């Protein structure tokens, strides 16, 4: 008789419940029940820390209510519905259909999370989200999110200015650009089986763009910690640029001297420039950027005229003075 | 067989009408948050897939030896034309608001629109000559020769789909692979016939 070694033995072993947890499981269940009740309470009290919940200031689980203060950064247009914001996403790591991220992002591990900072910086190293984001100082900003695909949504983000994070990371004099990289794990991201773009997703900004007061790091949306499909636990939001310039689920921040090779620019430099500022006068080679379809509103086919810099000309036009925006698209 | 084919070909269209009826009367529907784009994709993909099915009829007949299947080929091809036309009209209506200058600009400037328009334009003479009367008037051979147009049309349609998507996506590649197989089948058959004809009996 032959004994066959189970090749999955190691895997099985890792799935077993450790002995101490096994013996204390009733106590644990009672405790998690209390946490559940606490979270439910937190939901109603709009973010007051729950008695048994995660300690204040730590990275909250997706969907946890967040406390934030309103800011002057808001637009009067009606918000896209929350269902649209969390259900209509481009996060190609989970598939190219807009509904794929909501369907498949659940598998992504977002805790523990660490962000590796490197390059031209005096503060290289690994950071937890709460090292970079001060959860006690969250603010809400209502920005229009203009996708390069000629649609837009009005989204209430919760987060901190990107400049607050950049300042903590002390970029050196040679740091002219900052590059962001998205988490990549093929076993959790079914979309990366296909070479839609050159994974991992990399985006970048000029340092002065990143330091602009509008550039934002969102950790939440609609008053709650970011759902995974929207880029949990943290993502950049650069409202005067096309949506893809924002980087979801950031695991690496790198300060560099040369303009970084960014994902869509590498995929098709002719269609996606490094700057990708929203500009109704510069068409995408395959479609017009003069107008956009409004997503998540009450009407089925609402269009609006696209604004230069997505309506933020006053705040950002000076970043590009003297530049030919048609060439530097 | 013919009425069943007709029913199957009408179903996707009925589905679009049902979804829009639900949506406009405030009921839950399957079109997601961008019903217009959903409609474009659905009509376009339906047109392309039906066109591929029409091209699969001849190989199917060759494999199964079941000749009557050829009787449904023309209505399948005609259905592909109607879905392609609906796809085009939905675009001109919902995206361009019937603006002909905008349509013209798109055709001139945007490769995937140029390709798609080429495919629809190519289908028009095939649709017009799809009746029994036209076949009789043109003569079987001339009709057949005209309808070889379907091969370049199918290539245009797949190319249109490929260039319409952002990045390299699976859908157009799968359609392209199926089309390549269907065309290769004909090429191999053609070469074999030529070799057979060239050999002395």
Judge whether residue A14 has pLDDT over 90: no
pLDDT at A43 over 50: no
pLDDT at A83 over 80: yes
- Quick check: B163 and B120 in contact, CB under 8 A? no
- Collect all residues of chain B within an 8 Å Cβ-Cβ radius of residue A286: 110-112, 163-164
In which residue are the tokens 């309470």 written?
Answer: A41
Contact of A263 with A242, CB cutoff 8 Å: no
Question: How many residue pairs bridge chain A and chain B with CB atoms within 8 Å of each other?
Answer: 55
> If you measure CA to CA, which chain B residue comes closest to A301?
B36
Mean pLDDT of all residues in B117-139: 96
Please, where are the H alpha helices in A120-223?
Answer: 129-132, 162-168, 207-210
For A307-318, the pLDDT digits (tens) are 999 999 999 999
Long-range own/partner contacts, residues B179-187 (CB < 8 A, 24 or more apart): B179/B52, B179/B55, B179/B154, B179/B155, B182/B52, B182/B55, B182/B56, B182/B59, B182/B154, B183/B55, B183/B151, B183/B154, B185/B58, B185/B59, B185/B62, B186/B58, B186/B59, B186/B151
Q: Do B167 and A83 touch (CB under 8 A)?
A: no
Give how far A190 is from chain B: nearest CA, Å. 13
Count the neighbouring beta carbons within 10 Å of the beta carbon of residue A198.
Answer: 13
Q: What is the pLDDT of residues A138-183, one digit of tens each?
A: 999 999 999 999 999 999 999 999 999 999 999 999 999 999 999 9
* Model confidence at A16: pLDDT above 70: no
Give dist(CA A116, CA A251) in Å, integer.
Answer: 6
Helix axes B73-90, B2-24, angle to 10 degrees: 20
Task: Give the HSE-up count for residue A52: Cα atoms under 13 Å, Cβ half-sphere.
Answer: 13
Per-residue pLDDT at B165 = 86
Q: Which two tokens stand for residue B10?
A: 């009408």
Give the integer Cα–Cα distance in Å for B187 and B170: 25
Out of A181-185, A295-299, A320-324, B143-147, which region has the weakest mean confidence (pLDDT)?
Answer: A295-299
Q: Where are the alpha helices (DSSP H) in chain A?
A: 9-15, 19-23, 25-44, 82-87, 100-104, 129-132, 162-168, 207-210, 263-267, 313-316
User: CA B54, B57, B63: angle at the middle one, nearest 5?
Assistant: 160
Q: How many CB atoms lie within 10 A of CB B25?
A: 8
Chain A positions touching B168 (Cβ under 8 A) are 194-196
* DSSP letters spanning A128-160: -HHHHS-GGG-EEEEEEEEETTTEEEEEEEEEE
Predicted pLDDT at A287: 86
Check CB contact under 8 Å for B168 and A88. no
Q: How far is CA A188 from CA A9, A90, A95, A103, A246, in A?
A: 21, 16, 12, 12, 21
For chain A, what's the residue count?
Answer: 329
Does residue A42 register a pLDDT over 80? no
Chain B touched by A198 (CB under 8 Å): no
Q: What is the Cα A12 distance to its own chain's centre?
A: 34
pLDDT(B177) > 50: yes
Tens digit of each residue's pLDDT (9 = 90 or more) over A85-142: 999 999 999 999 999 999 999 999 999 999 999 999 999 999 999 999 999 999 999 9
* Radius of gyration (C-alpha) of chain B in whole angstroms: 19
Residues contacting A208, CB < 8 A, separation 6+: A319
Query: Which residues of B fall below an 8 Å CB-CB distance to A?
Result: 23-24, 32-37, 94, 102, 106, 109-112, 163-170
Instruction: Identify from B32, B33, B101 which residue to disrupt to test chain A contact, counting A C-beta atoms within 10 A and taking the largest count.
Output: B33
Query: Can you give the pLDDT at residue A244?
Result: 97
pTM, to two decimals: 0.80
Residue of B nearest to A153 (CA): B33
Give pLDDT, residue A275.
97
Angstrom distance (rounded) from CA A71 to CA A169: 25
CB-based contact B94 A301, cutoff 8 Å: yes
Tell me if chain B has a CB within 8 Å of the CB of A96: yes
ω into residue A233 within 30 of 0, thus cis?
yes
* Nearest residue, CB atoms, B32 vs list A88, A197, A293: A88
Residue A257 DSSP one-character state: S
Q: Residue A37: pLDDT above 80? A: no
Q: Do B112 and A286 touch (CB under 8 A)?
A: yes
Q: Tell which A residues from 285 to 324 touch B, by Cβ distance under 8 Å.
A: 285-288, 293, 295-296, 300-301
Q: What is the mean pLDDT of chain A?
A: 87
Query: Is the separation of the CB atoms in A110 and A196 below 8 Å?
Result: no
DSSP H helical segments within chain B, as ranges?
Answer: 2-24, 35-64, 73-90, 100-109, 111-128, 132-138, 140-147, 150-164, 170-198
Q: How confident is the model at residue A15 (pLDDT cuts 50, 70, 90)?
A: very low
Q: Which among A87, A196, A295 has CB closest to B167? A: A196
Distance from CA of A189 to the nearest CA of B (A): 16
Band (pLDDT 50/70/90 cuts) for residue A22 is: very low
Residue A194 in contact with partner chain B when CB distance is under 8 A: yes
Residue A140 in contact with residue A61, Cβ under 8 Å?
Answer: no
Query: Do the beta carbons of residue A218 and residue A180 sit within 8 Å?
Result: no
Dihedral of alpha carbons A119, A120, A124, A127, sign: negative
Beta bridge partners of A143: A155
| Banded pLDDT at A208 (limits 50, 70, 90) | very high
Q: Tell whether the model's pLDDT for residue A51 goes beyond 70.
A: no
Average pLDDT of the residues in A285-295 = 91
**Cβ separation B33–A295 shorter than 8 A:** yes
Chain-chain contact of B35 with A300 (C-beta, under 8 angstroms): yes
Structure tokens at A40: 């439910």
Q: Which of A15-24, A109-118, B34-43 has the lowest mean pLDDT?
A: A15-24
d(CA B26, CA B29): 9
Q: Are B29 and B23 in contact (CB under 8 A)?
A: yes
Whether complex ipTM tops 0.85:
no
pLDDT in tens, A214-269: 999 999 999 999 999 999 999 999 999 999 999 999 999 999 999 999 999 999 99
**Could you give the CA distance from residue A235 to residue A72 in angstroms, rounded to a whole number?**
21
Searching chain B, which residue's CA lies closest to the CA of residue A287?
Answer: B110
CA nearest A276: which of A249, A256, A246?
Answer: A246
Considering only CA atoms, which of B67, B43, B48, B79 is closest in space to residue B158? Answer: B48
Closest by CA position to A98, among listed B193, B59, B34: B34
Neighbours of A71 (CB within 10 A): 11
Residues of A in contact with B117 (CB under 8 A): none
> Nearest residue of A to residue B90 by CA position?
A301
B109 contacts on A by Cβ (under 8 Å)? 283
Cβ-based contacts of A84 with chain B (< 8 Å): 33
Cβ contact, residue pair A286, B35, below 8 Å: no
pLDDT of A38 over the 50 cut:
no
Question: Contact A286/B163, CB-based, under 8 Å?
Answer: yes
Contact A196 B169 (CB under 8 A): yes
Q: What is the CA radius of gyration of chain A?
A: 21
Q: Residue B170 and residue A151: Cβ atoms within 8 Å? A: no
**Which structure tokens are listed for B70?**
């050829």
Residue of B nearest to A268 (CA): B167
Band (B101; pLDDT cuts 50, 70, 90)? very high
CA neighbor of A75 nearest in space, from A148, A157, A7, A137:
A157
């Amino acid at each position: 008789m032959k004994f066959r070694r189970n090749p999955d033995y190691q895997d099985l072993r890792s799935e077993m419940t450790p002995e101490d947890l096994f013996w204390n499981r009733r106590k644990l269940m009672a405790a998690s029940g209390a946490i559940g009740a606490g979270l439910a309470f937190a939901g109603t009290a709009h973010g007051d820390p729950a008695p048994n919940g995660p300690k204040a200031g730590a990275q909250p689980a997706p969907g946890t209510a967040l406390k934030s203060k309103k800011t002057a950064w808001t637009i009067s247009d009606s918000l896209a519905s929350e269902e649209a914001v969390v259900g209509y996403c481009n996060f190609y790591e989970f598939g190219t259909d807009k509904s794929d991220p909501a369907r498949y992002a659940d598998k992504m591990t977002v805790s523990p999370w660490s962000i590796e900072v490197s390059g031209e910086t005096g503060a290289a190293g690994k950071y937890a989200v709460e090292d970079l984001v001060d959860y006690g100082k969250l603010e809400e900003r209502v920005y229009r999110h203009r996708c390069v695909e000629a649609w837009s949504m009005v989204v209430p983000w919760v987060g901190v200015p990107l400049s607050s994070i950049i300042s903590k990371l002390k970029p050196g004099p040679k740091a002219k650009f900052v590059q962001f990289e998205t988490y990549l794990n093929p076993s959790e991201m079914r979309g990366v089986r296909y070479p839609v773009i050159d994974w991992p997703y990399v985006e970048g900004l000029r340092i002065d763009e990143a330091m602009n007061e509008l550039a934002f790091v969102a950790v939440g949306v609609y008053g709650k910690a970011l759902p995974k499909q929207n880029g949990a636990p943290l993502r950049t939001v650069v409202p005067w640029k096309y949506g893809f310039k924002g980087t979801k689920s950031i695991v690496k921040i790198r300060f560099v001297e040369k303009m970084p090779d960014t994902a869509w620019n590498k995929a098709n430099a002719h269609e996606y420039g490094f700057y990708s500022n929203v500009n109704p006068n510069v068409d995408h080679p395959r479609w017009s950027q003069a107008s956009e379809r409004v997503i998540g509103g009450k009407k089925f086919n609402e269009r609006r005229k696209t604004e230069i810099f997505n309506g933020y000309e006053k705040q950002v036009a000076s970043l590009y003075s003297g530049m030919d925006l048609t060439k530097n698209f | 067989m013919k009425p069943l084919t007709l029913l199957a070909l009408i179903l996707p269209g009925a589905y679009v009408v049902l979804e829009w009826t639900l949506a406009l009367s405030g009921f839950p529907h399957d079109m997601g948050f961008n019903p217009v784009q959903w409609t474009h994709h659905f009509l376009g993909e339906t047109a392309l897939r039906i066109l591929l099915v029409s091209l699969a009829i001849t190989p199917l007949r060759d494999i199964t030896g079941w000749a009557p299947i050829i009787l449904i080929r023309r209505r399948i091809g005609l259905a592909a034309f109607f879905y392609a036309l609906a796809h085009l009209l939905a675009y001109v209506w919902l995206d361009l608001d019937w603006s002909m200058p905008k349509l013209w600009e798109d055709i001139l400037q945007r490769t995937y629109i140029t390709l798609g328009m080429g495919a629809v334009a190519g289908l028009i003479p095939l649709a017009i000559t799809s009746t029994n009367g036209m076949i009789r008037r043109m003569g079987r051979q001339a009709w057949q020769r005209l309808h070889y147009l379907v091969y370049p049309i199918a290539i245009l349609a797949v190319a249109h789909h490929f260039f319409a998507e952002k990045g390299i996506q699976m859908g157009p590649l799968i359609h392209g692979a199926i089309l390549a197989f269907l065309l290769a089948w004909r090429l191999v058959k053609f070469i074999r016939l030529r070799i057979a004809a060239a050999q002395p009996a």
